[in-house]
Amino acid sequence: MYYSEGIIKMDKYYRIKILSKNGYDLANQQIMYRYKDNIEDIKNLRAQTINTDSYDISRITKIEKNQFYVTEEDANYKQISFTFPAVQVGSIIEYKFTVEFRNFRYLDAWVFQSKIPTIYSLFESDISLNRFRYSVVYTGKNIINKYQNKTISKWELENIEAIQDEDFVFCLYDNLEAIQFQLIEFMSIVSYSEYRFYEFVPSWKNFTKKMLSVPLIKKYLKRPKRSLLTKINNKLISNSSSNTEKITKIYDYVSQNYKWNNRYTKYPTKNISNLIIDKRGNSAEINLLLIALLKNAGFEAYPMLISTKSHGKVVKEIPLSIGFNHILCAVKIGKNYTLL
């Protein structure tokens, strides 16, 4: 990984040997990348199959450019799919490409493990020699034991076990041998002969402030007494005497009348008026509506960011937006908060 022409670039190379027919599925490969706002791009993709005949002569079959298929997976991601030709037992398949990052905050992690055993995996980086300084976060027993508390730019592991599905393990990534990078400082050029480093990692307090300032989140929370919400609550809780009863009725109204679109996210994509009309939304929209109704009824209610089990653990040491994928409602009842 290196810095060049205003872009951070990561060259990736994979080489796999097919040992049995069970490995034929490996001939189908996909590369996912974040194309929204030109955050990432894939360049110089090359792929080929190598077969050796009985005379020990290698025959190479390359994948042509028109055999790489690009599909738009959602509003943020695209996927490149391709299939290696002429694959048989004993084939070697290899492919390489360059990932270009224009958002320097979030770089791809390097995962040493895969679904098959890995003989050797290497990652090198010289980005710290340029305008950016990153903190390295390790996961996995072997990588932690080998490199924790060391200042280096090259990491390698050998004879790595395959990833195994485990019962009651919802996010395998939490325990994989991997390294990830968090931007901590960047250099700003002040003048021709002067430059200055600025800290990038925010405090949790500033991270919270930034999340609450997201325009659509702010719109859900800033006007708790709006007439649209008051009209709903008048029908729901006008005859309720206790706070518990009021909260229960508001919660039941939201859970029974609004359908989740099966998407976990911390960001709403539609405003509160459209959500009330559509009666369908993502996890952030539905829970922010619940918070807005509770605030309208006079309760202290706040959004609480979490990471679901399948999304993985939150890195407590570093405030990272990508560490969260869901919003819950925290409402104060008496002296304590209850999560809804």
Query: What pTM was computed for the model?
Result: 0.71
At residue 62, φ and ψ (nearest 5 deg) are -90, 150
- Give SS3 for 293: helix
Domains identified in the chain and CATH numbers? 2-199 (2.60.40.3140), 204-339 (3.10.620.30)
- Biggest alpha carbon distance in the chain? 89
Q: Residue 186: beta bridge partners? A: 132, 198
Residue located via tokens 């995962």? 111
Running DSSP on this structure, what letter comes out for residue 102?
S
pLDDT of 121-134, one tens digit each?
Answer: 999 987 665 677 78
Lowest mean pLDDT among 58-72, 164-178, 274-288: 164-178
Separation between Cα atoms, residue 144 and residue 159, nearest integer Å: 16
Q: Per-residue pLDDT tens for 213-271?
A: 999 999 999 877 788 899 999 999 988 889 999 999 999 999 999 999 999 999 999 99
**Alpha carbon distance 172, 140 (integer Å):** 11
